[in-house]
Structure 1
Amino acid sequence: MRILHTSDWHIGRTFHGHSTDAHLSEVLAALADAVREHGVDAVVVAGDVFDSSTPKAEAFTMLNAAVRAIRDAGATVILTSGNHDGPARLGHMAEFAAFGGVHVMADLARLATPVTLEDAHGEVHLYGIPYVHPEFLRAAYEDFDGTTHGDALAFAMGLIRDDAAARGGRFIVASHCFAGRAGEAPGETTELSGRAEERDISRGGLNLVDLSVFDGPDYVALGHIHSHQTLSERVRYSGAPLRFSFGEISSDKIAWLVDLDASGLAAVERLALPTPRRAVRLEGTLEELLSPDAHADATEAWVEAILTDDQLPRDAMRALQGRFPYAVTLTHRPAHRADHGDAGYAERVEGRTDLEIVDEFLGFVRNGAALSADERGLVTDALAALESAEAAR
């Protein structure tokens, strides 16, 4: 059996105020093409289908089109709810959608109720864990008394393992969470998919879940982190299908093709996704960035500009957008502000006169503009008056 693992579609999300709908539609259409090309049996979307708990009508229209295309290509669809989704809205009409091969798993009371598919080797049970806040889980299960997201997922996985053992056969779990290896500390770096990812104890309001919670399934399809990551051979994040921030520039966008044989997980393969518009970060003076020979390949990309001019040029963003129509953010970082490096304040002012300190401070806040002769005289007089007042005390 072949599963396509994707997540975090975030339908309805904007990129710095610009709609991503057209780009996302292109990528979701590519997923449907991949289902047909690669003989995919089921597509698993591990949470955050929508970007909002109250999506607009256009978001439902896009979801319907994507799901219809995947079904037409021949795959069953399994959707779980994430922390961005409203489970009631996402799960509306779920019972009826299931008759058409679209299974929306957003009901905490049905954690141990899988979608069961069959291949030449027997049954494969697919369990979806909707976003499982401890308070929500306590309301659904009287015997749950945990307080963390890890507690909640451990409880959910216990139910699933018991059910899977009773049914027999292979099983897959989809979950939307922030997972990591045992003993991983906040801020520690871990090599995931060949790159260093700095970890905080919480991402998007979700507490860190120990990887051991997911022991048992043949494959675990995770959502919530927007870059693809391999936590173990059978536990992976697919990442989001689009770049939703400049922090994701270095991460290529993929889905995972997961193959099961008679004994369980057989192989996992990357499926590269199209990039409707690249995201780039350009740094330099405005003159350098607008040079005719510079950054010709960025004219159709989302652009984050970091200007290093001593003073911010007038109408800098308008000038940038004349060359880069999709320039969406601008940061002013004058080169002289980096002169001090990591030196502390005491080290920087050591041996300087009060006048020199004032001159440097004003130069900093005024983008390098030093004191004029008249200003220097006023500051000198003020400092002298202050010294006299202190001496008279």
Structure 2
Amino acid sequence: MRLLHTSDWHLGRSFHGVGMLDAQRAFIEQLVAVVREEAVDVVLIAGDVYDRALPGVDVVRLLDDALVGLTGAGAQVVLTSGNHDSAIRLGFASRLLERGGVHLRTRLAELDQPVLFPLGGRADDGDAPLLAIYGIPWLEPRLVAEQLGVDTASHFEVTRAATARIRADLAVRAGTRTVHSVVLAHTFASGGISSDSERDLSIGGVGAVPLDLFDGFGYTALGHLHDRQELSPSVRYSGSPLAYSFSEAQHKKGGWLLDVGPDGIGGIREVLWQAPRTLAVLRGKLEDLLSADAFAWAEGAYCQITLTDAQRPAQAMEKLRSRFPDTLVLGFDPEGAGATAKTSYSSKLAEAADDLSVCCGFLEHVRGRAADDHEAAALAEALEAVRLEGMSL
């Protein structure tokens, strides 16, 4: 059998105000094409299918199209819920969907109920080795600790209890035949590298769980972190298929293809997704960014730009967008600012000679650049209008 591990689709998410539904549809088309070309038997989706608990109608329709496309390409799907999903909504009609090859594991009671596939021999061959795929949905410690029989509501304790249930089920099944296991889990496992677009899985404490909780499983398909990474040969994150923050600009987006035979997990290799847009993280002075040939590659990219000019340039965003039209984030970090002692605004206010000085001082304080002659004249005109209005009352 061949499996494909993916996760963190975040359908419905935007990127700094830019809708991503078309990009997500393009990813799904790539995914379905790979399933056909690689003859994938099972697609594993390790949580955060949706970006919100209440996805829009067009977002739900996109997931529907994805599941129809994957099953139409010959694959079955095993899907768990993540911390962004509503487990109840995502798990709707799970028993009916299972008849069509879509296996949802969104309920706590189902985490030790695997999806079973024969490995070699006929489906009704009672002696053929089995592949057992388990799905651990996102476990909110405060909500599931009591149901899992643990006294401490922590990510470690609830995950340990969940994996113990899976091991108990495996032990029973292994008593009669060979069983190889794959476990899906949406969690922050120690050793992973996080990025800005994942939510913190802990509240008031460390939420990471140790890797040894997954010892003994043939493969653990993790979701939550957006960088595709190998924590151990048998424990991996697929990462998100698209970049959802500029901190992911250097990620190589993709997933993992696994071959499983009667002897267990065989080869594991990467599959890469083509990014719809390049991400550029640029830094420098405005004049250099607008003129240097070294930045030409970023003209068609989504850009995050930090200006280092000593004073904040006027109309900086408008000027940058003349060369980089898709500048989405603009920041300022003046060179040498940290070494210069800054006079407090209250001190400047005390030194102001008149109302115009107060207004011009405030403008300089908030943007780091003094008012020019045109701006000072506009402020003076506004102040005079206020003075005349007050005299007429």
- Measured against the shorter chain, the TM-score band is 0.7 to 0.9
- Shift in Å, 1:339: 5.0
**Partners of 2:90 and 2:293 in 1: how far apart?**
49
Q: Deviations over 1:298-353 (max 9, x none)?
A: 1221100111122222221122222222110000111232557xxxx8xx99xxxx
Change in 2 beyond 3 A, CA 1:198/1:30 = closer
Mapped contact 1:13–1:20 kept (Cα < 8 A): yes
SS at match of 1:35: helix
SS at match of 2:291: coil
Aligned to 1:179: 189
2:135 maps to 1:134 = no
SS at match of 2:159: helix
**Partners of 2:153 and 2:168 in 1: how far apart?**
22
Farther off after superposition, 82-91 or 304-313: 304-313
Q: Deviations over 1:6-38 (max 9, x none)?
A: 000000111001111111111121111111111
Change in 2 beyond 3 A, CA 1:293/1:199 = closer
Mapped contact 2:188–2:201 kept (Cα < 8 A): no
Mapped contact 2:194–2:225 kept (Cα < 8 A): no
- The two structures, once aligned, show a CA RMSD in angstroms of 2.7
- Shift in Å, 1:179: 0.5
Q: Of residues 145, 149, 159 in structure 1, which corresponds to 2:151? A: 145
Unpaired runs of 5+ residues, structure 1, are 182-191, 370-393
SS at match of 1:290: helix
2:373 maps to 1:367 = no
Aligned to 1:14: 14
SS at match of 1:170: strand
Identity %: 38
**Partners of 2:319 and 2:101 in 1: how far apart?**
51
**Partners of 1:364 and 1:48 in 2: how far apart?**
43
Letter in structure 2 aligned against 1:82:
G
Farther off after superposition, 228-237 or 110-119: 110-119
**Partners of 2:152 and 2:40 in 1: how far apart?**
38
**Partners of 1:209 and 1:249 in 2: how far apart?**
26
Q: Deviations over 1:73-121 (max 9, x none)?
A: 1111111000110001101111111110011110101111111112316
Letter in structure 1 aligned against 2:131:
V
Change in 2 beyond 3 A, CA 1:54/1:366 = closer
Aligned to 2:378: none
Of Structure 1 and Structure 2, the greater strand share is in 1
**Partners of 2:112 and 2:237 in 1: how far apart?**
22
**Partners of 1:135 and 1:367 in 2: how far apart?**
47
Mapped contact 1:336–1:368 kept (Cα < 8 A): no
Mapped contact 2:219–2:235 kept (Cα < 8 A): yes
2:162 maps to 1:156 = yes
- Shift in Å, 1:199: 9.5
2:305 maps to 1:299 = no
Aligned to 2:60: 60
**Partners of 2:189 and 2:236 in 1: how far apart?**
10
- Shift in Å, 1:367: 3.4
- Shift in Å, 1:278: 1.2
Which aligned pairs between 1:48-87 and structure 2 lie closer than 5 A?
48-87=48-87
Mapped contact 1:238–1:256 kept (Cα < 8 A): yes
Mapped contact 2:254–2:273 kept (Cα < 8 A): yes
State TM-score, norm by structure 2: 0.80
Which aligned pairs between 1:309-328 and structure 2 lie closer than 5 A?
309-328=309-328
Which aligned pairs between 1:250-329 and structure 2 lie closer than 5 A?
250-291=250-291, 293-329=293-329
SS at match of 1:335: coil
Mapped contact 1:255–1:272 kept (Cα < 8 A): yes
Mapped contact 2:195–2:225 kept (Cα < 8 A): no
Aligned to 2:32: 32
Mapped contact 2:312–2:369 kept (Cα < 8 A): no
**Partners of 1:260 and 1:366 in 2: how far apart?**
60
Q: Deviations over 1:209-235 (max 9, x none)?
A: 011111121000000001111110000
2:216 maps to 1:216 = yes
Q: Deviations over 1:116-174 (max 9, x none)?
A: 11231632110000001223324534x33332011101101011111112123111000
